């Protein structure tokens, strides 16, 4: 009888990780200045 090898392809490829990290960094680059501006406006209102 032949034994079958079950290959479990778990994990992410390098390309997938780079794409996800790029998307996250773009979101952070957009969100941080907006957040700082929002915090700055609330300080002046108080």
Helix (H), strand (E), coil (C) string for 16-44: HHHHHHHHHHHHHHHHHHHHHHHHHHHHH
5: pLDDT strictly greater than 80: no
pTM: 0.64
Local confidence band at 45 (pLDDT 50, 70, 90 cut-offs): low
> Does residue 46 surpass a pLDDT of 70?
no
* pLDDT at site 9: 75
Residue-wise pLDDT tens digits, 10-43: 889 999 999 999 999 999 999 999 999 988 888 7
The per-residue pLDDT for 22 is 99
């Amino acid at each position: 009888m032949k034994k079958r090898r079950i290959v479990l392809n778990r994990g992410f490829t390098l390309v997938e990780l780079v794409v996800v990290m790029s998307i996250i960094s773009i979101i952070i680059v957009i969100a941080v200045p907006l957040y700082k501006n929002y915090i700055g406006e609330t300080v002046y209102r108080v």
